Homo-oligomer: A and B are copies of this chain.
Amino acid sequence: MNANALLPLPEATFHILLALADADRHGYAITQDIAARTGGKVKVGPGTLYRTIQRMLEQGLIQETRDRPPPEQDDDRRRYYRITPFGRSVVQADLARLTELVELARARGLEPVAEKV
Residues of A within 8 A of B (CB): 8, 11, 14, 18, 21-22, 37-38, 88-89, 91-93, 95-96, 98-102, 104-105, 108-115
The answer to whether B115 and A21 touch across the interface, beta carbons within 8 angstroms, is no
* Copies of the protein in its oligomer: 2
Chain B nearest CB from A30 CB (Å) reads: 13
B21 A109 Cβ-Cβ under 8 A: yes
Decide: B102 and A99 in contact? CB cutoff 8 A. yes
Known: A11-B8, A37-B104. A93 touches B113 (CB 8 A): yes
Chain B residues, Cβ within 8 Å of A100: 38, 115
In the complex, A38 Cα to B111 Cα: how many Å?
Answer: 19
